[in-house]
Amino acid sequence: MKNLITNKQILVTGGTGSIGTQLVKQLASMGPMQITAYARDEYKHFLLKQEMDRDFPKINIRYCLGDVRDYEKLERVTKNIDIVFHAAAIKHVYFAEKNPEEAIKTNVIGALNIINACSVNNVPKVIAISTDKAVNPTSVMGSTKLIMEHLLIKYSINNPQCNTKVAVVRFGNVLNSRGSLLPKWRQQIKLGGPVTVTDKRMKRFFMEIKDAVSLVITAAVTMKGGEIFVLKMPEYNIYELAKKTISQETTKKIDIIFTGSGSGEKICEELLTEMEKDRSEETESMWIIKPFNCL
Whether residue 41 contacts residue 116, with contact meaning beta carbons closer than 8 Å, is answered with no
Where does the pLDDT of residue 1 fall: very low under 50, low under 70, confident under 90, or very high at 90 and above? low
What's the pLDDT score for residue 232?
A: 87
Is the pTM above the cut of 0.95?
Answer: no
DSSP state of 30: T
Whether residue 139 contacts residue 97, with contact meaning beta carbons closer than 8 Å, is answered with yes
Q: How far is CA 43 from each of CA 51, 54, 125, 178, rounded to the nearest angstrom?
A: 13, 17, 29, 15
Domain membership flag for residue 117? yes
Domain membership flag for residue 12? yes
- Chain segment 218-272, per-residue pLDDT in tens: 899 999 999 999 988 889 999 999 999 999 999 999 999 999 888 888 999 999 9
Task: Kindly state the average pLDDT of the residues 33-42.
Answer: 97
Task: Kindly state the average pLDDT of the residues 51-59.
Answer: 95
Domain membership flag for residue 58? yes
Strand order in the sheet with 9-13: 61-65, 34-39, 9-13, 83-86, 125-131, 165-171, 228-231, 286-289, 280-282
Where does the pLDDT of residue 294 fall: very low under 50, low under 70, confident under 90, or very high at 90 and above? very low
Indicate if the pLDDT at residue 102 is higher than 70.
Answer: yes
Q: Comparing C-alpha atoms, which of 63, 45, 15, 58 is closest to residue 216?
A: 15
Domain membership flag for residue 102? yes
**Structural domain count, the chain:** 1
Domain membership flag for residue 109? yes
Whether residue 194 is preceded by a cis peptide bond, meaning omega within 30 degrees of 0, is: yes
Domain membership flag for residue 266? no
Helix (DSSP H) and strand (DSSP E) numbers for the chain: 12, 14
Where would I find the beta strands (DSSP E) of 61-112?
A: 61-65, 83-86
Domain membership flag for residue 108? yes
Interior/surface letters 74-109, b for 16+ CB within 10 angstroms, e for the rest: beebbeebbbbbbbbbbbebeebbeebeebbbbbbb
Task: Kindly state the average pLDDT of the residues 62-85.
Answer: 98
**How far, in Å, CA of 168 to CA of 180, rounded?**
22
Q: Which domain holds residue 28?
A: 2-173+208-232+276-289
**How far, in Å, CA of 235 to CA of 249, rounded?**
22
Q: In CATH, what number is assigned to the domain containing residue 127?
A: 3.40.50.720
- Chain segment 143-181, per-residue pLDDT in tens: 999 999 999 998 878 877 788 999 999 988 887 776 678
Just list the catalytic residues: 133
CB-facing half-sphere around the CA of 172: CA atoms within 13 A: 22
Domain membership flag for residue 156? yes
Task: Kindly state the average pLDDT of the residues 274-290.
Answer: 91
Q: Which is more confidently placed, 286 or 11?
A: 11
